[in-house]
Structure 1
Amino acid sequence: ASLRALGELWRRSPVDLPEEAARRGLYDLAAPVKGFDVFLSHTWMSPGRYKVLSLLFQAGWKQAFFVQSLFVVAGIILSLVRWLPLPFTIPPEFAEYSHLICPFFPWCLVLGFVGSFIGLVLTPYLPALCGQHPVCFLDVVSIHQADQELMERGIYGLGGFLRVSKELRVLWSAPYLSRLWCVFELAAYRMANPSGRIVVSPIFVEVGALVTILFTYFVAALFSLVFVLNWQEVGQVMTYVVALVPLLLFLHLMRRNLMSKHRLLSELRLFDLEKAYCRTDFDREFIHRAIIEWYGSKEAFTQYVRGPLREELMRCNRSAFPLPYLLMVSAVPFIASLDSLVSVSLGGMK
């Protein structure tokens, strides 16, 4: 639900909202629950649009696949019954079928792109596949942003929120570990919920996945153009060269993902509590009191972050390119091949 209205909740920090009524209205969006499936940990210093995109992909890849499949099947059926215009022709690849006329238009590719886009954007409004949408803790909604007393109660109750959260999902970005609140949430979650799951999700992974998918669609459309224009070998070779770009983007994304893991671990190894940034003195004082109460001293907390917490994050950091995103990329050339199969089928090839 936090992703509805194009992720409006994520666009601006509640501290930056000019009107108190706007901050007060955020709390009205929350609902009483017994526990949380996911506690979303993030910093407002990173752009909200990247976090919206990251969560859309994480929550909506199944819906995107489902709607995409429906649109592709519709494209196949409507093309075979000639209810969709097929203004072009492509020559069959085999010489013995060179006399056939194969009507063509990349409807599967076009509708597959539209379907995946619609499925992804409508994910917050569509029913969940294989279960229910997770119940999430989001600071801007779950803690009152206008009433000082309720805000303090929410902050003091943070340990309780963490205790009833099945998973702590870290939307990691470069400034994440420079924020005192973020590091405190990491350490407090393990203290309050020893059996809970920690997932580190660098938000740029989904940005790279989107760019790779879009460029793969572009290359597939370029191949369709080559078939329609019946370009000679030089044109085809140039197309094959361009087709390498999605692979290069994928490799760059994997490299950047690996570098982010090393940066995360390096920042934890050099963590300094006194240098961690906190926006208000109230928050800083509360966190320092909680640290001393839970860990005995600030120095003990610093050593915990540099040692046991860092070692745990080494095990749970998501360093590989997620399989669902890899399937979304590889689905594009498969869908494009369906257009060719439809074309030769309409041309009479058996």
Structure 2
Amino acid sequence: GPADFMEMISNDELELEHPMRAAALSVVLQRELWANKPTLLAGRTATGSNYDLSIHVRRADYFISHAWADDGARKVSMLRDFLCLHALLGRLLIIAPLLTLFVLPLGFGLNSFIPAFPFWGLCTLPLTVLLLVLLWVGLSNRNVLPRTITPWAAVPTTVWLDTCSLLQDTPETVAAGVRGLGGFLSRSNKMIAFVSPTYFKRLWCVYEVASFIKMHPTNVHLTLTLLNLEWPGTFSMRKSKGLSAAELACLDNFSCRAAQCYKPADRAFILRQIREHWGSEEEFDKYVRVELKTCLAMSKAAYFKQASSVAKSSLELIFGE
């Protein structure tokens, strides 16, 4: 049950063999880190090491769960938007026009005393700031600016990402990373999972997100965000809040026995954990089909409401509740 599962996680946290490490958001948003170079949890070792890009932490703000075969550039774009740009641009696009209207009467007043001063002069200030920020974001998105001066460099978010947070130098460190998954999850405040048809065919991926849900039975709607890589942007007119037939099919047809796992040893480890903490593979399949479907529906609704939520909070900031 949940209590036994949490006890197992607590033990992992106390006896974590592999260090808990995380990287800054600006580090994680480097596209080269998301190239199709599977890490140990995908069964192969990435070329080169990005371990030195992470630091020791007590806890990470976010744990990232994803399938390496999926589009890395799309993951970077969605993560950047979700953790930085939606809030920044959403507030700016509301506040800047309102400030323009607020200073317009002041401009008329100054113009009456100083005819040479154009009545619209003050209005250019918030609009200029808006244009400069949009230029800043555009140049940052195109990797023209160093990552240390991008908008997301100012976001103090720490992220657990396998390619940065797992040491893969020796078979022993690889094994420690596999055994430490429960500890990594328990020391992450939230999870973002980039889901796709490929994701739901990977045993490691589904086990990660199912374990996280089991750790947070009462507040998973606050701690877990599932982002489908096929969803359009939040400002798109093509968005649909309900789950599509393809999304439902991925979950309705899930089977842990049919899910892929590169290493036989990893498959045996995961299935053993499933039988221990869910009772049987069949119960795990039922859990995934029900719980992940609910979480995906909630995440989709929240994702497409994010822009309006930011706009609402911006208006409350100006006018009060």
What range describes the TM-score normalised by the shorter chain of this pair?
A: 0.5 to 0.7
Say if 2:224 is the partner of 1:198: yes
Q: 1:186 aligns with which of 204, 209, 227?
A: 209
Q: Aligned partner of 1:189: which letter?
A: F
1:45 alignment partner in structure 2:
69
TM-superposed deviation, 1:323: 3.7
In structure 2, the residue matched to 1:8 is 32
**Which residue of structure 1 aligns with residue 196 of structure 2?**
173
- Residue 167 of structure 1 aligns to which amino acid in structure 2? K
| Cα distance change of structure 1 residues 318 and 278 upon mapping to structure 2, 3 Å threshold | farther
- Structure 2 distance, partners of 1:123, 1:34, is 28
Higher helix share: 1
* Paired position in structure 1 for 2:55: 31
Partner Cα distance (1:322, 1:126) in 2:
29
Residue by residue over 1:227-264, the C-alpha shift from the partner in whole angstroms, topping out at 9 and shown as x without a partner, is: xxxxxxxxxxxxxxxxxxxxxxx322x14x6454x433
Which secondary structure state, in structure 2, belongs to the residue aligned with residue 273 of structure 1? coil
**Cα distance, 1:199 vs structure 2:** 0.9
Q: Tell me, which stretches of 5 or more residues in structure 2 are unaligned?
A: 1-23, 98-126, 312-321
CA 1:118–1:187 in 2, change beyond 3 Å: closer, same or farther?
A: same
2:84 aligned partner: 60
Compared with structure 1, are the counterparts of its residues 258 and 145 closer, same or farther at alpha carbon in structure 2 (3 Å cutoff)? farther
CA distance in 1, matches of 2:255, 2:270: 14
User: Contact 1:200–1:318 (CA<8 Å) still a contact in 2?
Assistant: no
| Cross-structure match for 1:150 | 173
State which of 138, 141, 151 in structure 2 corresponds to 1:117.
138
Q: State the percentage of identical aligned residues.
A: 28
Letter in 1 for 2:84: G
CA distance in 1: counterparts of 2:188 and 2:82, whole angstroms: 18
**Aligned pair in 2 of structure 1 residues 65, 290: CA closer, same or farther (>3 Å)?**
same
Counterpart among 276, 280, 287 of residue 263 in structure 2:
280
The answer to whether the Cα contact below 8 Å between 1:271 and 1:302 also exists between their aligned partners in 2 is yes
Which moves more between the two structures, 169-178 or 306-315? 306-315
CA distance in 2, matches of 1:21, 1:307: 34
TM-score after normalising by structure 1: 0.59
Match of 1:292 in 2: 275
Query: 5 Å matches for 1:94-105?
Result: none
Aligned amino acid, residue 31 of structure 2: G
Contact 2:37–2:47 under 8 Å retained in 1: no
- CA change 1:310–1:293 in 2 (3 A) is same
Three-state SS of the structure 2 residue aligned to 1:274 is: coil
Counterpart CA distance in 2 for 1:315 and 1:20 is 34
Aligned length: 253
Residues in 1 aligned to 2:297 and 2:243: alpha-carbon distance in whole angstroms: 13
Summarize the Cα distance change of 1:282–1:324 in structure 2 as closer, same or farther, 3 Å threshold.
same
Larger radius of gyration: 1
1:308-329 CA deviation, whole Å, 9 max, x = no partner? Answer: 443344334446524438989x
Q: Which segment drifts farther, 116-125 or 183-192? A: 116-125
For residues 148 and 191 of structure 2, the distance between their equivalents in structure 1, rounded to whole angstroms, comes to 24
Q: Which residues of structure 1 form unaligned runs of 5+?
A: 73-106, 213-249, 329-350
Cα distance between partner residues in 2 of 1:57 and 1:136: 15
Is 1:251 paired with 2:275? no
8 Å contact from structure 1 (residues 38, 165) kept in 2 = yes
Q: 1:314 to 1:54 in 2, by over 3 A?
A: closer
Quote the Cα distance in structure 2 between the aligned partners of 1:251 and 1:65.
17
Q: 1:265 to 1:165 in 2, by over 3 A?
A: farther
Instruction: Describe how 1:293-308 pairs up with structure 2 within 5 A.
Output: 293-308=276-291
Report the alpha carbon displacement of residue 291 of structure 1 after superposing the two structures with TM: 0.8
Deviation, structure 1 residue 179: 1.1
Letter in 1 for 2:139: I
Contact 2:39 2:46 in 1 (8 A): no
Distance 1:29 1:45 in 2: 22
CA drift at 1:44: 0.7
Task: Specify the alignment match of 1:247 in structure 2.
Answer: none
Alpha-carbon distance between aligned partners in 2 of 1:59 and 1:123, rounded to the nearest angstrom: 19
Contact 1:46 1:175 in 2 (8 A): yes
